[in-house]
């Protein structure tokens, strides 16, 4: 595909042999009608398609009536495969990178390839389209002026709670990806760390037949999920309203106190934690002592 009118202008210099372009092509996150005509056009014209999973992407290419040379590029072989793809680009072949769903590099492979392609001065051109983050945020009804995409939370409880605690005071809307088999555990930890009333919106099976949004306070949404027989099926985007501005002095919120207690407990015995937290917040030492014991049990 060397003479496309819409081809990026930043190709190799006039006297160099033309090098190939690396196209980063977004594909549907469920509904095949979301594949853009431009994406389809680029896929039909490139020489090679780098895919995460050849069987999965083979079905997409088959749906488009395309027979393409596919090269598997995933987390475990990206470094090695990137090298041979870069050689093909240098030799003048055009390559499209796609992932199993949505936009490549967004919690998907491709970083090593794109980084090295840019280092070598090759043209990297994005073909935009579906992405679960933006799809979910666009319909969630949460503030979108500032959001922080966190990707997948750690799989183990301790790591997950630590990661969440670090985000407790973040003011931007938080966005996580979560798999069906971990969504309940993740929601339980979210309730523990952010409290029952923090607003959350879950987008499940977006663009698919059973697309569902669950929204409300964390405790309420957890109950909805637990009582819905289909609640834990499918893929999820979890969106959490950012923290309210931190209050000081006597208006110190319960969540801040929990965070303070946790921080102090990492260094001090419970009695000292209660005394120090009482000093800092003006709250009752006994109440804080009890709360510290509860948190310690968690
Ligand atoms: N690159 C993709 C993108 O652009 O969104 C994301 C790939 S990441 C490996 C897969 C995760 O994205 C899923 O575990 C889920 O959290 C989220 N996701 C993908 N498709 C989704 C959908 N249709 N509905 C809800 N979440 C989805």
Q: How far is the CA of 162 from the centre of ligand 1 (A)?
A: 23
- Look at residues 108, 130, 152 and tell me which one is the last residue of a structural domain: 130
- Look at residues 240, 262, 282 and tell me which one is the last residue of a structural domain: 240
Considering the domain architecture, whether residues 110 and 54 belong to the same structural domain is answered as: yes
**Residue 15: inside a domain:** no
Q: How many CA atoms lie within 13 A of 109 on its CB side?
A: 21
Q: Is 142 in the pocket of ligand 1 (CB under 6 A)?
A: no
Q: What's 195's domain CATH number?
A: 3.30.950.10
Query: Is-contact 133 143, C-beta < 8 A?
Result: no
Cα–Cα distance, 214 to 173 (Å, whole number): 16
Q: What's 38's domain CATH number?
A: 3.40.1010.10
Count of domains for the chain: 3
What is the rounded average pLDDT of the residues 191-219? 96
- Look at residues 79, 107, 130 and tell me which one is the last residue of a structural domain: 130
Considering the domain architecture, whether residues 83 and 152 belong to the same structural domain is answered as: no
Cα–Cα distance, 21 to 94 (Å, whole number): 5
Q: Sort 187 into a burial class: Cβ within 10 Å, 0-12 / 13-18 / 19+.
A: buried
- Which range among 90-104, 219-233, 237-251, 266-280 has the greatest average pLDDT? 90-104
Residue 255 has pLDDT above 60, yes or no: no
Q: What percent of the chain has pLDDT over 70?
A: 91
Ligand 1 atom 8: residue of nearest CA: 107
**Residue 59: inside a domain:** yes
Q: Which of 174, 32, 150, 154 is nearest to 101 (CA)?
A: 32
Considering the domain architecture, whether residues 65 and 145 belong to the same structural domain is answered as: no
Residue 254 has pLDDT above 70, yes or no: no
Q: How far is the CA of 59 from the centre of ligand 1 (A)?
A: 18
Question: Which among 98, 101, 155 is the best mutation to test ligand 1's pocket, defined by most ligand atoms within 8 Å of the CB?
Answer: 101
Q: Is 179 in the pocket of ligand 1 (CB under 6 A)?
A: yes
pLDDT digits (tens, 9 = 90+) for 222-233: 999 999 988 788
Considering the domain architecture, whether residues 124 and 62 belong to the same structural domain is answered as: yes
Question: Which among 26, 208, 210, 237 is the best mutation to test ligand 1's pocket, defined by most ligand atoms within 8 Å of the CB?
Answer: 237
**Residue 179: inside a domain:** yes
Of the pLDDT bands very low, low, confident and very high (cuts 50, 70, 90), residue 24 is: very high
Question: Which among 102, 127, 174, 210 is the best mutation to test ligand 1's pocket, defined by most ligand atoms within 8 Å of the CB?
Answer: 102
What is the rounded average pLDDT of the residues 201-211? 97
Considering the domain architecture, whether residues 229 and 292 belong to the same structural domain is answered as: no
Of the pLDDT bands very low, low, confident and very high (cuts 50, 70, 90), residue 1 is: low
- Atom number of ligand 1 nearest to Cα 132: 5
Considering the domain architecture, whether residues 234 and 193 belong to the same structural domain is answered as: yes
Q: Is 106 in the pocket of ligand 1 (CB under 6 A)?
A: yes
Considering the domain architecture, whether residues 25 and 125 belong to the same structural domain is answered as: yes
Considering the domain architecture, whether residues 123 and 140 belong to the same structural domain is answered as: no
Which pairs with CB-CB distance under 8 Å and at least 24 residues apart come from 115-122? 116/82, 116/86, 117/22, 117/86, 117/89, 120/86, 120/90, 121/12, 122/19, 122/20, 122/21, 122/22, 122/86, 122/89, 122/90
pLDDT given at position 117: 98
Range of the domain at 170: 133-240
**Residue 276: inside a domain:** yes
Query: Is-contact 209 251, C-beta < 8 A?
Result: no
What is the rounded average pLDDT of the residues 21-45? 98
Tokens found for residue 105: 């590099």
Q: Calculate the average pLDDT of the chain.
A: 90
């Amino acid at each position: 595909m060397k003479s496309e009118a819409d081809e990026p202008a930043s190709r190799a210099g006039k006297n160099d042999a033309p090098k190939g372009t690396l196209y980063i092509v977004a594909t549907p996150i469920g509904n095949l009608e979301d594949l853009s005509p431009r994406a389809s056009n680029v896929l039909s014209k490139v020489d090679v398609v780098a895919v995460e999973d050849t069987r999965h992407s083979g079905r997409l290419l088959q749906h488009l009536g395309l027979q393409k040379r596919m090269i598997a590029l995933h987390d475990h072989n990206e470094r090695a495969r990137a090298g041979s793809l870069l050689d093909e680009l240098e030799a003048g072949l055009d390559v499209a990178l796609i992932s199993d769903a949505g936009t490549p590099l967004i919690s998907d492979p491709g970083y090593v390839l794109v980084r090295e392609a840019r280092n070598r001065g090759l043209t990297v051109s994005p073909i935009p389209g579906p992405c679960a983050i933006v799809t979910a945020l666009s319909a969630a009804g949460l503030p979108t002026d500032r959001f922080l995409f966190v990707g997948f939370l750690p799989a183990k409880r301790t790591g997950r709670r630590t990661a969440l605690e670090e985000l407790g005071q973040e003011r931007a809307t938080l966005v996580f990806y979560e798999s069906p088999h971990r969504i309940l555990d993740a929601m339980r930890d979210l309730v523990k760390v952010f409290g029952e009333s923090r607003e959350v919106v879950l987008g499940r099976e977006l663009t698919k037949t059973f697309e569902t949004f669950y929204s409300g306070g964390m405790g309420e949404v957890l109950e909805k999920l637990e009582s819905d027989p289909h609640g834990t099926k499918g893929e999820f985007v979890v969106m959490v309203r950012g923290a309210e501005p931190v209050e000081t002095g006597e208006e110190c919120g319960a969540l801040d106190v929990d965070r303070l207690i946790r921080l102090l407990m990492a260094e001090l015995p419970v009695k000292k934690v209660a005394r120090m937290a009482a000093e800092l917040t003006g709250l009752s030492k006994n109440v804080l002592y009890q709360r510290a014991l509860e948190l310690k049990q968690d």
